[in-house]
Structure 1
Amino acid sequence: MKKTPSIIAAALVLGAAPAFAGSATPAAPEPVIEQAAPVPFSSPDWTGFYGGAQLGYANIDTSAGGDDDGFIGGLTAGYDFDLGQWVVGGGLDYDFADISIAGGAADLESVFRAKLRGGYKIGNGLLYATGGYALADTNTLGSDDGYFIGAGYEYLINQSFSVGGEVLYHEFDNYNSSGVDVDATTVQVRGTFRF
């Protein structure tokens, strides 16, 4: 009868084994966490009106001699149309100045521009070329029309505001029938509100 305690002990161990092994119901599977798909980059929409201010520097050369420079700045407004990766638009600029030209023969007082531009979107920025009609006004030589060409870069801070810079080359041949040719280069920075 010495075997009885060991048989009872073995039966107790075997009977208790399921209790140590866990529940008879299978455990719920752990949830699978899927990585979110990356959101594709979409560039901002440039379509709409804009208006703002600009400030910069102008260098003016004349065939009569003299290389004059000074500050120039004013207002800008226009409309852009977003074509996907490309943007086209038109605008108007009006700059004030007080720059002596032609060795002091006159002072440049203002420049008006009617412009077209077209550019390629790079992220939130727009790299563009521009050109159009320019009208310069002086205090003694009157006003004359010419043309300009140039390039610029504009960056959208958000859909309502952008900053940028622009370099323009202007040419006024035979300024107001004076026999003097005038060339001007402007470099300006700008801030525009977009609507």
Structure 2
Amino acid sequence: MKRATPILATALALGAAPAFAGNTTPPLEDNTVAAPAPVAPVPTNVGPDWTGFYGGAQLGYADIDTNVAGSDDGVIGGVTAGYDYDFGTFVLGGGLDYDFADIGVANNAATVENVFRAKARGGYKLGNGLLYATGGYAQADTDTLGSDDGYFVGAGYEHMITQNFSMGGELLYHEFDDYNSTAVDVEATTLQLRGTFRF
């Protein structure tokens, strides 16, 4: 009887089956790594970047009502300037308006000559547009009743036509209680179209 080879003898001594015993095909290790599940893209609202300074002009219609004599209306328009910051989906900013007018109020007892506003605005980006709410301080000046401070609130929409030019519309409600201590309460609503250049 032949003696077992040293390798076979060692394997038998350790209780291991010879490599060629039974199934001669060595077991395969399962090294397969499961592919990660596809992740749905997170929707983003990119659109234009609204960050920066702007300046432009606006023109529209004003309806002015008092507690002493009906309402009067007329043309109002002027200049606007401000700064916006784009947070990706939302835009916050502030600005200044100065409008000229020639609208008689209180049975022409006075004429509104100009309106100044210091405003804050915040809005949501819709593609190339911005839908926003606004409000702040207003000052109206007349020819015979002097000037007085009040406030305004409103909303608007602005659309980026090119990278540096936008157009939009804005509806504002103003209130001046006891105008310049005359016991006259003034309410004014303005609707204006505006065009702005952005820097």
Tell me if both proteins adopt one fold, taking TM over 0.5 as the criterion.
yes
TM-score grouping bracket, smaller chain normalisation: 0.7 to 0.9
* Number of matched pairs: 156
**Counterpart amino acid of residue 172 in structure 2:** L
Give the drift of 1:41. 7.3
Task: Give, in angstroms, the shift of residue 66 of structure 1.
Answer: 2.0
1:99 Cα deviation from its structure 2 partner = 0.2
In structure 2, the residue matched to 1:122 is 126
Say whether the 8 Å CA contact 2:168–2:195 is kept in structure 1. yes
Matched, 1:163 2:158: no
Map of 1:134 onto structure 2: 138
What is the letter of the counterpart of residue 91 of structure 1? G
Residue 70 (str. 1) matches residue 77 (str. 2): no
Q: Which TM-score applies when normalising by structure 1?
A: 0.79
Deviations 1:18-62, CA, capped at 9 Å, x for gaps: xxxxxxxxxxxxxxxxxxxxxx97311000000000000000000
| Counterpart position of 1:57 | 61
Distance 1:60 1:184 in 2: 4
Report what 1:16 is aligned to: none
Q: How far, CA to CA, are the matches of 1:47 and 1:81 in structure 2? A: 4
Q: What does the per-residue CA deviation read over 1:103-139, in whole Å, with 9 as the maximum and x for residues that have no partner?
A: 1100000000000000000000000000000000000
Q: Distance in 2 between matches of 1:184 and 1:42?
A: 36
How far did 1:65 drift? Answer: 1.3
TM-score computed with the length of structure 2 as normaliser: 0.77
Residue identity matched to 1:98 = D
Amino acid at match of 1:66: G
Unaligned regions of 5+ residues in structure 2, if any? 1-43
Between Structure 1 and Structure 2, which shows a larger proportion of helix residues?
A: 1
Question: Is the 8 Å Cα contact of residues 46 and 88 (structure 2) preserved in structure 1?
Answer: no
User: What aligned pairs does 1:8-157 form with structure 2 within 5 A after superposition?
Assistant: 42-157=46-161
Tell me the SS of whatever aligns to 2:88: coil
- Structure 1: unaligned runs, 5 residues or longer: 1-39
Counterpart of 1:175?
A: 179
Match of 1:32 in 2: none
CA distance in 2, matches of 1:159, 1:130: 23
Say if 2:45 and 2:126, in contact at 8 Å, map to a contact too: no
Q: Which amino acid is the alignment partner of residue 153 of structure 2?
A: I
Between the aligned residues of both structures, percent identity stands at 74
- 1:158 deviates by 1.4
Q: CA RMSD in A?
A: 1.0
Change (3 A) 1:41 1:185: closer
Residue identity in the other structure for 2:119: K
Which contiguous aligned blocks of 4+ residues in structure 1 show a shift greater than 2 angstroms?
none
